[in-house]
Amino acid sequence: MVQRKGWQLPSIRLLSTTPAAQPAVTPPREGPAVVDCALYSAGIRQPGERTVKELLEAAQTTADAFVWIGLHEPTEAEMAEVAEVFDLHPLAVEDALSDEQGPKLERYEDTMFLVVRAASYVEHTELTETSEVVETGSVRMFVGEKFVVTVRHGSIGGLKAVRADLEAHQDLLTQGPWAVVHAICDRVVDVYLQIAAAFQRDLDFVETQVLRREAGSTIGQIYQLKRELVEFRGAVLPLQQPLTTILDHRTLKLTKEIRRYFRDVNDHNNRVVDRIAGYDDLLNSLLQARLAQVTVDQNNDMRKIASWAAMAALQTAFAGIYGMNFKYMPELEWRYGYPGLLIIMLITTVLLYRYLRRAGWL
């Protein structure tokens, strides 16, 4: 792709290089928003150097052809030029530029607008109260009869590998633009499964600490996992409705073959949803168990304090009685009265200590 200081849609040309030769886009984005653009006919990427508008015109005059253009964090001006070429609805364009968009599927005349949230697992050597476990991004797709426009936000969810895999399987690309949508959704949901497996390891680690009553098991760690799980669930759970709509043949007229592929994606996504529900229940149980342990530890501490206070109060009682300076006191004139009283105080303290030990207070 030709690099230019300013991005002008008519100047975007398709080179006859393979996807592997395209330069990678790394955040923050520099240069054109267009990551890649190609015309596919009969499942084969067509070589040549043409503008996006020319590619779309060629697709419209060929029975089994479509255009796939990929954008990464486009500006309003860049997105407006793409919208003009593909006749995209202004409301959908506005949603494509919005930072906060949840998974959804909407129809704008002959164009479908699909939003999915990509996610990735953040590797960490130690789980702390501030560890970031899940990072999310977003992929928005405009799907028409002869085109698919993908708009990616965030540093994750790159589609270069998806494009390369599709181009290696021409039989899938012959299914048209919805084959691209399936490949993206399939890759996103496969990553969901990997995140769920990695999340399970973190849960096992915290569970082990809680059951062993280790000092490193803090309520803050559990709350951090719950926060990360909420973010992960926000990507996975809302995707159920768009996938269900895609599978409904009354809403979208897709081929039986491509619908079969989407059914597999939906099954995988439902598996992740079920695992998230289980993780949430487990975290709630761990939180309750940890809080119960804290309560028990506090009660034990209070009983120990009360036990030592009882022994101190007993000695205080003896000292208080014999410190009243009454004239007539038991054994007041006895020569060994003072050491005898000390012995009595010591014996009563030992007996009280042994009683409290047997009662489990010390």
Signed CA dihedral, 198, 202, 204, 205: sign only: positive
Q: Average pLDDT in the 121-147 region?
A: 85
Percent of the chain with pLDDT over 90: 29
**Alpha-carbon separation of residue 280 from 20, 44, 238, 276 (angstroms):** 41, 45, 17, 6
Q: For the range 210-213, what are the long-range contacts, defined as Cβ-Cβ under 8 Å and sequence gap of 24 or more?
A: 210/286, 210/289, 210/290, 210/293, 211/289, 213/293
- Among 151-155, 180-184, 344-348, top mean pLDDT goes to 180-184
Q: What pLDDT does residue 24 have? A: 38
Q: Is the per-residue pLDDT at 198 higher than 80?
A: yes
Q: Average pLDDT in the 41-50 region?
A: 85
Q: Is the per-residue pLDDT at 5 higher than 50?
A: no
- Among 23-27, 88-92, 331-335, top mean pLDDT goes to 88-92
Q: Is the per-residue pLDDT at 1 higher than 50?
A: no
Q: Is the per-residue pLDDT at 70 higher than 60?
A: yes
Signed CA dihedral, 177, 178, 180, 184: sign only: positive
Q: For the ranges 71-80, 270-279, 353-362, which has the lowest average pLDDT?
A: 353-362
pTM of the model: 0.75
Where does residue 301 fall: left (phi above 0), alpha (psi -120 to 50 degrees), or beta otherwise? alpha
Q: Average pLDDT in the 308-315 region?
A: 86
The SS3 call for residue 121 is strand
**Distance separating alpha carbons of residues 155 and 84, to the nearest angstrom:** 27
Q: What pLDDT does residue 32 have? A: 61
Q: For the ranges 32-36, 103-107, 185-189, which has the lowest average pLDDT?
A: 32-36
